Amino acid sequence: MKLFFYSNIIVLIIAMNLGLSGCATYQSAPLDSTEYHKSWVKRSPDSKSVIDFASQLAKPLSPYDPSDGIQRIEAEIIALHFNPKLHAERQKAKIYAKGIPYADLWDDPTLSMDLVRILENVQHDWLGGASLEWTLPISGRLAKQKDKAVSQAYAALTEIVVEENSLIKQLRESWLLWSIYLQRVELNQAFLEEIDKINRIAQNLVQAGEISRVQARVFSIEHSNITYQIQKLKRNIEQEQTRIKSILGFIPDAPIQLIPSLEQESGANLESNWQDLLTAQNPLLAYHQAHYDLAEKDLELKIRKQYPDINLGTGFASEEGDPRLALGISLPIPLLNRNRKAIAEAQATRDAERAAWEAAYQQLISDYQIAQLSLLESQERYEYLTTNLAPLIDQQVEEQLSLAQLGELDVLLFLDAIKEAHNTKLDILDARHDEAMAQINIQSFFEQDFSLKNNKTEN
């Protein structure tokens, strides 16, 4: 009996050692703001990591060369690589991807040991036994678990695509606004020079007694107002530059050169099949489609879980000094529970995801048509300002300037004419801004191919 007792102890110790030897160990990884800030400061647009990232894109956005300044299309590559929010989303997506290889593993076996001592004076006062139990997954539950894990990982990837598209849209809008501010500064400075030129003519007329100093002072007032507008625009330029650097993942005072641009890729030219293309290429719709597919996989798993797995057990026991071999089989009978609560919740979740997809689809179709109308309106406005209104105002200014040079200066009328000409130029710039914003909005309806070359293989 003692031999059997000690042999069970030895078997138990060996089994526990074998199990524990394969377990993972914990390693602390504390946060270090000082070291992270140092690495943040060292970021550069021409670093090897960015260049390698640009070369790995499935469809390179352009030949990447930031040595002569960063163009907007190069900034998009940098943002996709360095943006902290996008990096965090990618790390979250890895949570599901890392679990895929282990989603269909069998449950660990259970090793148990029982010892009983009889208190009465008998020949064999110890009874003992040891058993090993495990679950045989005949229901197919593990395969469905892996299918769900793959769907979870794919749904997480669609969230990254949505974030990428949103990030690029935000960058393009900020880049455009920053470029518009620079253009407005140039227009205001040109207007300031024009005010100074007319002011000199007005001062000569004051000395000749043609107009009063009160009349001539309106040009000085306008000069002061435009000077303030320029200072305000320069502050806006600094703020927008800082915002762009934040999107790119650089420190606020990073010594990088940005190249302004108002040009945008034209919106997609879709004909009769535009709804099919939107359905196939819109990132947000793909996100809802992936989550609906995930709900389907989850429901399939919950239904499969109502079918039982077999629990097997083998062991050795000793009674009255006689060693015995035991074999046990248990099979739950799905009569009462049948996982009905989980199935009902999974069905409701699938219905909710279907409703979310349908709502997103309806909103997508409406928003796209509104975006196309907005683009058309901005194009018509730009055409009207440049071909109809601007020539008339330029003619009015030229005539007033000719009269001023002849000494026949109507101060208020002339000031109104040059201000109208200046405001028209600003309106034309605003029309270009609205057209470019509409194009950016239309582009955001379609997935931009920022994926890495090996993403499809990994998925």
pLDDT category of residue 7 using cuts at 50, 70 and 90: low
pLDDT tens-digit series, residues 334-355? 888 888 999 999 999 999 999 9
Per the domain annotation, does 68 fall within a domain? no
Stretch 233-238: mean pLDDT, rounded? 96
Per the domain annotation, does 421 fall within a domain? yes
Name the pairing type of β-strands 310-319 and 322-330: antiparallel
**Domains of the chain: total:** 1
Rounded to whole angstroms, the Cα distance separating 259 from 14 reads 68
Per the domain annotation, does 273 fall within a domain? yes
- The CATH number given to whatever domain includes residue 116 is 1.20.1600.10
Per the domain annotation, does 41 fall within a domain? no
- Domain encompassing residue 197: 74-121+142-311+340-447
pLDDT tens-digit series, residues 166-214? 999 999 999 999 999 999 999 999 999 888 887 887 787 778 777 778 7
Higher pLDDT, 124 or 29: 29
Mean pLDDT for the chain overall: 83
Per the domain annotation, does 53 fall within a domain? no
pLDDT tens-digit series, residues 399-457? 666 665 655 556 667 777 778 888 888 998 999 999 999 999 998 998 765 554 344 33
Per the domain annotation, does 137 fall within a domain? no
Rounded to whole angstroms, the Cα distance separating 438 from 432 reads 10
Per the domain annotation, does 95 fall within a domain? yes
Per the domain annotation, does 8 fall within a domain? no
Contact assessment for residue 313 and residue 132, using Cβ atoms and an 8 Å cutoff: yes
Angle at 21 between CA 19 and CA 22, to 5 degrees: 75
Give kind and range of the element (H or E) at residue 128.
Answer: strand 126-136
Rounded to whole angstroms, the Cα distance separating 387 from 424 reads 12
DSSP H helices in 22-116:
33-41, 48-56, 72-82, 84-99
Higher pLDDT, 46 or 234: 234
The side-by-side arrangement of strands in the sheet containing 126-136 is: 110-117, 126-136, 310-319, 322-330
Angle at 263 between CA 261 and CA 269, to 5 degrees: 160
